[in-house]
Structure 1
Amino acid sequence: MNRRIALQHLVESSRVDAEVFQLRPDYRAVVIAVDGLVPGPSDQRSEALLQAAEAHSRSLLGQTPVEQLPHVAAWRDAYRSFGAKPQRTRNSLEGLLRRAVTGLPRVNRLTDLYNAISVLHQIPLGGEDLAGYVGAPRLLRAIGTEPFDTATGGTETTEHPEPGEVVWCDDAGVTCRRWNWRQGRRTQLSDSTTTALFILDALEPMSDDALQHAADALGSHLDQLGPDVQRASLLIRAEPGRP
């Protein structure tokens, strides 16, 4: 199958369950699948993006506490809606903003890129290695028996989400817990990742235009990470008139 067609099939197979939209009807996601990435260490381009993100974070937090930033506050409310405590389990955007004050991590140019875009556009943004995926991504409310592979104290272990917790899954189990809190080891990006999946999560007050702008910025930078990068994307939102 043509690579672009395969990527398009994957994103078009992505799903958000109705129970999630019942919880937050304003939820939207852009799913981006990409292939042909050339792995590499942090470089001048990724360093410049990270420095811009750090400066943007300092500017924002110089005026407003992190928990009061509009999209951070919206995600804190979303976490409370399914029983999570945002003071203990911070959404990925809030986690990055808090780190950005003293300096974002330098990992590799792919990870640096999506972390920087997350901070610059004020949006939770997850990145995963598609080579570890089994089937298409799906956002649902957990039963509580789904496996989640993680590490505790340096030891690999399998955990399970709380019943009702909002999680991203594939056919093999949970890939990200609490919507956008912690990603699993099976699908985590690595220094050798060549094909990846990115999920941009939005709630009000983020507009559709702002969400699309963030997705376009990410896509534009991804296109520069190889001579033959292919990608496909999909916007997922609640269908009008559906419960």
Structure 2
Amino acid sequence: MIPEVLRDAVVADDVLSLRPDYRALLLVVEDISPGPGDDASEALLLRAESTAIALTAGAPVEELPHVAAWRDAYRAFGAKPQRTRSSLEALTRRAAAGLPRVNRTTDVYNALSVIHQVPLGGEDLDRYAGAPRLVRASGDELFDTTAGGEEVVEHPCPGEVVWRDDVGVTCRRWSWRQGRRTRLGEGTTRALFVLDALAPMSDDALTAAADELVAHLGPRARSQRRVLGAAG
């Protein structure tokens, strides 16, 4: 049976009108093998760092095809991509100097985001409320984050594209920054992953990224998925 978090997920029409080529692959994974980083996640991070160096040897990060597509998407809802970068662009830029080491699951999805050149976020399902919706914000939604080392609650800008659940915003500016409430920890065993795709990324490439993610989440990991947007 398809879980409610997938069944009731929505991408709003006014988001799709910005980029009709947009697809979101939502992936629910249970029985993840959690914990701190290990040899396998470290190897994946090193592979991602090498991938980023190779990709940017002949072109600046902003000219990589999927990065460039996301910069255009950000401009479509009023964000300035030179100041607010998609998670894909931010990680690819950082990779040459070394990606962050957080915990096993986060390290895996950050590494695969760079390797497959796709924005990829993860949410702890035990902290999630209801189904995910990608919408344009009214501006009064709650977003819990940190600023200057302190926990704070912010609000998105009106019209900003955000992922949200029943409680508030879980990721601002499409794929820019995830909130504190639903972030993955060392003990997370159930997660919702969101893979965001625009042309020129193909459906096959999007599926391959999701398949490799599941393969790295532990021998008992079980998954279900749904694609929203142009492909479904």
> C-alpha separation between the residues in 1 aligned to 2:219 and 2:192?
16
Q: Any unmatched runs of 5+ in structure 1?
A: none
Alignment of 1:90-101 (within 5 A): 90-101=85-96
Per mean C-alpha deviation after superposition, the further-off stretch among 105-114 and 165-174 is 105-114
Question: Match for residue 38 of structure 1?
Answer: 33
Distance 1:231 1:153, change over 3 A: same
Question: Match for residue 231 of structure 1?
Answer: 223
**What is the aligned residue count?**
232
The alpha-carbon deviation at position 38 of structure 1 amounts to 2.6
1:105 aligns with 2:106: no
Alignment of 1:33-112 (within 5 A): 33-112=28-107
Q: What whole-Å deviation, never above 9, does each CA across 1:146-205 have from its counterpart, x for those lacking one?
A: 111111111111111111100000000100000000001110111111111100000011
Could you tell me which of 10, 15, 19 is aligned with 1:20? 15
> C-alpha separation between the residues in 2 aligned to 1:221 and 1:155?
33
Per mean C-alpha deviation after superposition, the further-off stretch among 101-110 and 58-67 is 101-110
Alignment of 1:62-211 (within 5 A): 62-211=57-206
| TM score, norm. by length of structure 2 | 0.96
Aligned-pair Cα RMSD in Å = 1.3
> C-alpha separation between the residues in 1 aligned to 2:5 and 2:148?
34
Q: What whole-Å deviation, never above 9, does each CA across 1:10-66 have from its counterpart, x for those lacking one?
A: 212111011111111000010001111232111111111111111110001111100
Q: What whole-Å deviation, never above 9, does each CA across 1:90-148 have from its counterpart, x for those lacking one?
A: 10001101110111111111111101110000000011111111101000001111111
> C-alpha separation between the residues in 2 aligned to 1:239 and 1:75?
18
The alpha-carbon deviation at position 230 of structure 1 amounts to 2.2
| TM score, norm. by length of structure 1 | 0.92
> C-alpha separation between the residues in 2 aligned to 1:26 and 1:172?
28
> C-alpha separation between the residues in 1 aligned to 2:114 and 2:19?
23
> C-alpha separation between the residues in 1 aligned to 2:69 and 2:205?
15
The alpha-carbon deviation at position 239 of structure 1 amounts to 7.3
> C-alpha separation between the residues in 1 aligned to 2:219 and 2:214?
12
Could you say what secondary structure the match of 2:110 adopts? helix
The alpha-carbon deviation at position 233 of structure 1 amounts to 0.6
Identity %: 61
> C-alpha separation between the residues in 1 aligned to 2:52 and 2:206?
18
Structure 1 runs (4+) greater than 2 angstroms displaced: none
Q: Is the 8 A contact 1:15 1:137 kept in 2?
A: yes
Q: Which amino acid aligns with 1:158?
A: V
Q: Any unmatched runs of 5+ in structure 2?
A: none
> C-alpha separation between the residues in 2 aligned to 1:41 and 1:149?
24
